[in-house]
């Protein structure tokens, strides 16, 4: 915008937006809905850019080339600096796979497709690293903006004189908010990251620009300006405190804060008012001027700090990181943004010098990083130390003898490799069934099997509860189809065995519905009533503070504290296990067992035995530790009573019925190697 059109109150709005986002990312409890700051930015951007385009179109001076020349000068240089510095910091501090992922996200970000990358590639699965470990995650919002500004200028070029433009933009904006609400239930990542569900926010800003150029101030009574500004302020600020990460967003809930922002911009255009004067205060204006660079810097600083084991920021680190953010933002604004915007080269010169050439250099660097699998210049000694640290915490699903899948196949139901224990492997007496919380007990049960002379098949479907009834109410929407598809074949397979050992992440399913244990007990009751012996294994202690990658990260990240520790027992786990224990005590042919007493003492639990880690993540034993824990239990107390029943129970059942077609004949084997 030309100087005479400068709106200091809009810079004040920028300050509110960036401060909201930063406070939310430092500590969500400070401002639970602070993520709305990004949506405030979208409205401001839609207003400023649309007003420029519409003014130039009205004068007959609009040029697509000149538009993108200005976009490159404004957006590219600071973004490229941040991407380059972040890649370098990642190479110094992060694990190879995280370095590689950062490089991959950088490639997409350079093409203004970061939002597409994080929608399609961001692993939100069961064992995913936390989002706060992704140092370029925040660039998704730049992707949304740049994709919008590929389409919007071309559309305005065609229809800027149409009388229906304002109404048409409003209808599309409403459709965008509605789409976010509809899509969220099926694909929340798409709803969050992608343009169709965010376009309405940018269009609201465009509608204010259109109204301002059509003389809205002449139609609006002066007495209405301040009430409109107050209403806008209330609509914008209230969601910052009332929304949270649990809210369905974007969608209908994105309408109030973005509409409020639009009303504030509109009121400030029509006349000076108390709100616009407050937003024009010099401290807010200064923050607004550096807000773009502050947004770019804040997330990599927070992400890389948290990567070093600081999931919760204390007050002092939070203050230091915010101060560092604004120090870097000022330097970037002073020495990068301002000179770049003052450059007077042609479209070709600006685009090539300020975007294409440095972006290609960063792309080449990213490709080299990915080609080297993130290891870069790291030594063979580092590789060996990393491999040793990872072997100690390998999870169940990485072993060939574990049939844990996210999608079950017929081969998994009869895979001979997934039968453990003494012979006969063609006629295993039991099946260990459940989700990943059953799979991580394979070593424990395997150690019992060796001494009690039984064999068992294992079968686990990730994030799917072991139920004969409909699991839909208890699982995340993205897992519903796989869980339903597995239900019938798994049920038929389980019923071939005289003994069923079952375990699950009971607390995870209870978080979806308080009725889960009723459904689970009904399944166990059905199996017992059919004459089977059912052994329910309780959930292992959950230790949220545990980070298996701590010792891996400590190889390159300085001052990490990876010492053994203890944590209090999780009350939800304790309550779920107690109910299952009581249920088993009341039910014929149902037994209960859990490992809590071997991992906890006096109400406190440890993910370590001495200095050796036992867990893969906060709720799963590693497979080497599972085998060792089983051997320890046998050594200290013998085989637990429920498992001593298996051989005799199965022999009795087999003598009365045909052999279960559990798997093809395979040679007898000993306990699988825990280093497989």
What would the two tokens of residue 510 be? Answer: 């209870």
CA 160 – CA 55 distance, rounded (Å): 10
Spatial neighbors of 213 by CB under 8 A, at least 6 apart, are 51, 54, 55, 58
Residue 477 has what pLDDT? 80
pLDDT given for residue 606 in this prediction: 96
Specify the pairing of strand 567-568 against strand 604-605. antiparallel
Q: Provide the 10 A C-beta neighbour count for residue 194.
A: 23
SS3 sequence of 288-313? HHCHHHHHHHHHHHHHHHHHCCCCCC
Look-up: residue for tokens 């084997």? 669
Mark the ranges of the chain whose per-residue pLDDT is less than 50.
1-4, 125-129, 658-671, 673-676
Residue-level pLDDT at 669: 40
CA distance 482 to 599: 33
Residue 525: what pLDDT?
Answer: 97
Own/partner pairs for 219-227, CB < 8 Å, 24+ apart?
220/270, 222/270, 222/271, 225/267, 225/270, 225/271, 225/273, 226/267, 226/273, 226/274, 226/275
Q: Report whether 429 contacts 644 (CB < 8 A).
A: no
Q: Say which residues have a Cβ less than 8 Å from residue 434's Cβ, sequence separation at least 6.
A: 460, 465, 466, 502, 503, 504
Residue 667: the pLDDT is 34
| pTM for the structure as a whole | 0.84
**Which helix (DSSP H) or strand (DSSP E) does residue 612 occupy?**
strand 612-613
Distance of CA 277 to the CA centre of its chain: 40
Q: Is the peptide bond before 424 cis (omega within 30 degrees of 0)?
A: yes
């Amino acid at each position: 915008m030309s100087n005479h059109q400068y709106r200091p109150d809009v810079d004040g709005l920028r300050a509110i937006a960036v401060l909201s986002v930063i406070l939310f990312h430092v500590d969500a409890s400070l401002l639970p809905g602070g993520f709305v700051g990004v949506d405030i930015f979208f409205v401001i951007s839609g207003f400023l850019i649309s007003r420029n385009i519409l003014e130039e179109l009205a004068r007959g001076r609009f040029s697509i080339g000149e538009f993108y020349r200005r976009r490159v000068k404004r957006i590219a240089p600071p973004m490229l600096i941040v991407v380059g510095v972040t890649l370098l910091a990642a190479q110094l501090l992060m694990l190879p796979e995280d370095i590689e992922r950062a490089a991959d996200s950088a490639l997409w970000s350079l093409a203004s497709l970061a939002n597409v990358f994080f929608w399609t590639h961001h692993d939100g699965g069961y064992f995913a690293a936390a989002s706060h470990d992704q140092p370029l995650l925040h660039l998704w919002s730049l992707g949304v903006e740049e994709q919008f500004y590929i389409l919007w200028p071309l559309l305005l070029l065609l229809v800027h004189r149409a009388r229906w433009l304002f109404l048409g933009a409003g209808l599309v904006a409403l459709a965008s908010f509605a789409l976010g609400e509809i899509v969220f239930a099926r694909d929340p990542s798409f709803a969050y990251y992608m343009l169709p569900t965010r376009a309405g926010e940018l269009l609201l800003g465009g509608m204010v620009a259109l109204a301002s150029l059509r003389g809205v101030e002449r139609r609006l009574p002066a007495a209405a300006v301040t009430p409109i500004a107050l209403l806008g302020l209330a609509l914008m600020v209230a969601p910052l405190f009332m929304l949270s990460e649990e809210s369905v967003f974007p969608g209908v809930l994105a309408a109030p804060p973005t509409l409020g922002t639009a009303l504030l911009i509109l009121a400030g255009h029509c006349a000076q008012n108390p709100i616009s004067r407050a937003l024009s205060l010099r401290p807010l204006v200064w923050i607004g001027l550096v807000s773009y660079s502050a947004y770019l810097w804040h997330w990599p600083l927070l992400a890389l700090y948290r990567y070093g084991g600081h999931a919760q920021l204390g007050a002092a680190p939070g203050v230091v990181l915010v101060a560092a953010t604004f120090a870097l933002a000022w330097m970037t604004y002073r020495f990068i943004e301002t000179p770049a915007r003052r450059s007077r080269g042609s479209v070709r010169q600006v685009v090539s010098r300020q975007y294409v050439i440095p972006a290609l250099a960063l792309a080449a660097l990213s490709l080299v990083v990915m080609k080297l699998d993130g290891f870069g210049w790291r030594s063979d000694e580092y590789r060996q130390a990393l491999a040793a640290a990872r072997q100690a915490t390998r999870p169940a699903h990485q072993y060939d003898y574990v049939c844990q899948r996210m999608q079950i196949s017929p081969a998994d139901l009869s895979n001979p490799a997934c039968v453990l224990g003494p012979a006969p492997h063609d006629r295993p007496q039991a099946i260990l069934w459940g989700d990943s919380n059953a799979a991580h007990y394979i070593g424990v049960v395997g150690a019992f099997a060796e001494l009690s002379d039984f064999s068992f098949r294992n079968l686990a479907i990730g994030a799917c509860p072991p139920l004969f009834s409909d699991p839909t109410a208890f699982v995340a929407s993205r897992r519903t189809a796989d869980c339903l598809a597995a239900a019938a074949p798994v049920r038929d397979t389980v019923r071939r065995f005289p003994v069923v050992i079952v375990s699950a992440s009971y607390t995870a399913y209870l978080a979806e519905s308080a009725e889960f244990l009723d459904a689970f007990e009904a399944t166990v009751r059905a199996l017992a009533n059919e004459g089977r012996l059912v052994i329910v294994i309780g959930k292992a202690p959950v230790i949220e503070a545990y980070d298996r990658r701590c010792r891996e990260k400590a190889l390159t990240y300085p001052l990490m504290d990876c010492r053994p520790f203890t944590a209090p027992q999780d009350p939800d786990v304790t309550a779920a296990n107690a109910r299952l224990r009581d249920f088993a005590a009341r039910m014929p042919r149902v037994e209960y067992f859990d490992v809590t007493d071997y991992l906890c003492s006096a109400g406190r639990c440890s993910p370590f035995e001495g200095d050796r880690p036992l867990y893969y993540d906060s709720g799963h034993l590693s497979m080497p530790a599972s085998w060792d824990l089983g051997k320890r239990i046998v050594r200290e107390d013998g085989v637990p009573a429920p498992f001593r029943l298996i051989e005799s129970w199965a022999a009795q059942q087999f003598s009365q019925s045909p052999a279960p077609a559990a798997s093809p004949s395979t040679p007898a084997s000993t306990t699988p190697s825990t280093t497989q």
